[in-house]
Amino acid sequence: MAENIVMPQLGESVTEGTISKWLVNIGDKIKKYEPVCEVITDKVNAEVPSTFSGTISEIVVQESETVPVGALICRIAVEEQASTPVESKTPAAAQDQGADDVTAQAAMSPRYSPAVLKLAQENNLDLSRMEGSGAAGRITRKDILEILQGKRQAVAAPVPKAEPPSPSKPSQPVESAREIPKPSGSVEALSAVHFPSNQADETIPVTAIRRTIAERMVKSKQEIPHAWLMVECDVTNLVRYRDRIKEEFKQKEGIHLTYLPFFIKSVVEALKEFPILNSQWANDHMIVKKAVHLSIAVATDQALFVPVIKNADQKSIFGLAKAIDELVKKARDGKLALEDITGGTFTVNNTGSFGSVLSAPIINPPQVAILSVEAIVKRPIVINNMIAVRDMMNICLSLDHRVLDGLVCGRFLKRVKQKIEGYGMETGLY
């Protein structure tokens, strides 16, 4: 008997999921609790385990397809059916055989998803002349994009020989102008292919994660009256200190010592002095959070994640460096769990890692503030009426003006600046 595997609900408010990768193929034997696929939701990436032991009989949802929670994604033929004699067919078995026949007939006739059909029509591609990488040779959106990007050729099936032209009916050229082959240095290969004069624009579907980011950022800008403050910090002593100890730290602890743990340590200590910045807006009241769960922005090629360092105010610089390293690796490997991305009370965004010197970050609700640390650059600074070259950095604060005013935020930034500029050779890491 075939059992169904459905899209699970990975989080309280999750309504749909996207199959990012199948870990099994049709015909594979699988044990109970072994993962069958990887799923991306607007909350987290996770593996979907099998609830049965048996053989994968059908994969219903292809990679990159999004379906609602509870939708059928694959079928598994349970192991008990393997011992059923073929001769003693019950009506149910006959019904299963009929279903198998229907499945076989469906496999013989090509099926294309709406996204594949749309891309093919927009780019004048002949789907009948392509070979898919999906289950049972099904053409996926990824196949179309690889053809459009020139990573593979469109032709998969051999082209039948053309009949000699008859006098009454001139021969027609083979319609291969719509195929985009791989680049080739051969003049003969290039001359045999006609490139379309107008290349179509690439269409990128909105993933669940990207859609959630968009919705949250629009909501933040629409509902929160943003205001901004910026101060500059002289981090010369910190730069010298880190340069002196970073190699020893890497050999001893096995992780890189970046500037971010120092900045976060300064922020969480300042938050204990100005707890109103560690609060939430709740319409008719404000909630000041006692625990400091600090969110950090981690960008990947696909999306922006905001994992949370729990109880960040109780960690040393080393503890923060270790927590950052673990969360960044999880984010980039797609292994963040739901508890890793929930509960944040304040966010620090390291925009300086890609050279930014000034930014106005968008607040991540229900938080009421976000701080960005910018790039460290050498600048001439006047000290005691003399010009000196110092390592300088800007820190920028976005604040929710419903909760916070310039006075308290100015004092908060001033305290963060003092703590950052106070690092030096006497600073303890543990």
Q: Which two tokens stand for residue 211?
A: 């859609």
* Position 305 confidence tier, pLDDT thresholds 50, 70, 90: confident
Residue, of 48 and 323, whose pLDDT is higher: 323
Residue, of 154 and 15, whose pLDDT is higher: 15
% of the chain residues with pLDDT over 70: 75
pLDDT at 129 over 90: no
In this structure, of 151-155, 243-247, 255-259, the range with the lowest mean pLDDT score is 151-155
pLDDT at 276 over 80: yes
Structural domains in the chain, CATH included, are 2-108 (2.40.50.100), 110-159+174-205 (4.10.320.10), 222-421 (3.30.559.10)
d(CA 229, CA 122): 47
Q: Which amino acid is at 416?
A: V
d(CA 18, CA 7): 9
- Adjacent-strand bridge partners of 56: 76
Residue, of 357 and 175, whose pLDDT is higher: 357
Q: Establish whether 243 is a catalytic residue.
A: no
Helix (H, G, I), strand (E, B) or coil at 400: strand
Residue, of 411 and 305, whose pLDDT is higher: 411
Of 65-79, 154-168, 270-284, the range with the highest mean pLDDT is 270-284
Q: DSSP for 383-405?
A: ETTEEEEEEEEEEEEEEETTT--
**For range 182-190, the mean pLDDT:** 46
Q: DSSP for 263-275?
A: HHHHHHHHHHHSG
Question: What's the Rg (C-alpha) of the chain?
Answer: 29
d(CA 10, CA 67): 13
Angle in degrees, CA 306, 309, 313, rounded to 5: 135
Q: At what angle do helices 317-333 and 236-253 cross, to 10 degrees?
A: 70
d(CA 177, CA 194): 5
Please answer whether residues 40 and 208 qualify as being in contact, where contact means their C-beta atoms are separated by less than 8 angstroms: yes
Q: DSSP for 74-142?
A: EEEEEGGGGGS-SSS--HHHHHHHHHHHHHHHHHHS----HHHHHHHHHTT--GGG----SGGG---HH
Please answer whether residues 154 and 180 qualify as being in contact, where contact means their C-beta atoms are separated by less than 8 angstroms: yes
User: How much is the pLDDT for 198?
Assistant: 67
**For range 241-252, the mean pLDDT:** 95
Q: Establish whether 293 is a catalytic residue.
A: no
* Position 316 confidence tier, pLDDT thresholds 50, 70, 90: very high
User: How much is the pLDDT for 309?
Assistant: 96
* Position 181 confidence tier, pLDDT thresholds 50, 70, 90: very low
Name 394's Cβ contacts closer than 8 Å, sequence gap at least 6. 230, 231, 232, 233, 357, 358, 374
Q: Which two tokens stand for residue 409?
A: 């935020």
